[in-house]
Amino acid sequence: MDSWTSNFLQFDGPSPCEYDRCFFEDNVLFRHYLKTSVKPFLSAKTRLSIDAFTWWQNIQNEQRNFSFYEETVDMLFGIFPPVPDLGNAKSGGNVTCALVGNSFNLKGSSYGSIIDSKDLIIRMNFAPIEGYEKDVGTKTSHHVMYPESAVDLDKSTHLVLVPFKIQDIEWLIKAFTTGFSGSSYSPIKSKIKANKELVMVVSPAFIKYVHEVWLEEVGDYPSTGFISLVLALNICDEVSVFGFGANSRGQWNHYFEKYTDINLKTGPHAGQHEYNIIQDLDFGKILPH
């Protein structure tokens, strides 16, 4: 969808309506958040403002200037489609989406069949499926990532890059061509298996918009998961949210990992604030633990 519309957002699991919390676009909170002309994805015709670049430049201490950013984006669209393919075409009906987070709350949920029943299934970062199918499903249409969380994809899955610095865009170019050899705060895949015709890159201006409007500047910048939520509300008519939030002990951990650090937090992201907003959108329903 080109416009910001959503018939409803639902949260973790079945209930009447077909779910017990429906989120209609005439909701005041919803209309407040979605009042924007910011395009979510870069295209060959996108022209980022200096203001948006300056904000984005400070996320991870980017040292290179606006001209270098523009040159890098020009190279990007010399390789990838000049206009993003949203992949949500459906004749005669609403596009239903499952947004699948990585929270420990998914473990033992048996949500896999519900997730797989949606038209589009959006995952993010590492998000392993094998061995967790009963809880997380088996299908993926869009996989949101940044270089440090990159995974190989099949030829039918959209790679959605969230760039937090110019090097992230450089990585995307080189991961499909010569191979990336740079360094970062954690290991990065040199090359990636994915369909370059289905690559989409989130606009830095959109990340800024999510931070300023949705999060009201709480936290240093939004998490990949929260950015994915707002993206989903842009490309889907109906969004079902699975696997967000801390566990019952208030720990932020993933369904596929074991942690020894019981005090693990959400780093530069305002995890609890983001989660609270998702709950507000769902009129107060909370995740099962």
Angstrom distance (rounded) from CA 237 to CA 223: 23
- How many Cβ atoms from other residues are within 10 Å of residue 238's Cβ? 22
Active-site choice (111, 254, 269, 275): 269
Please indicate whether residue 273 is annotated as part of the active site: no
Phi, psi of 252 (to 5 degrees): -95, 95
Measured between alpha carbons, how far is residue 183 from residues 118, 124, 125 in Å? 37, 22, 18
Question: Residue 146 CA to chain centroid, in angstroms?
Answer: 10
69 catalytic per annotation: no
Closest-CA residue to 52 (of 203, 222, 234, 220): 203
Which of 19, 69, 111, 221 is the catalytic position? Answer: 221
Structure-block tokens of residue 144: 């949101």
As a whole number of angstroms, the distance between CA 134 and CA 111 comes to 7
Secondary structure letter of residue 73 according to DSSP? H
If residue 74 lies in a helix (H) or strand (E), which one and from where to where? helix 66-76
Nearest one of 271, 200, 163, 208 to 36, comparing CA atoms: 208
Q: Which two tokens stand for residue 274?
A: 């983001």
DSSP 126: S
Beta-carbon contacts of 86 under 8 Å, excluding residues fewer than 6 positions away, are 1, 200, 235
Q: Which residues are catalytic?
A: 221, 269
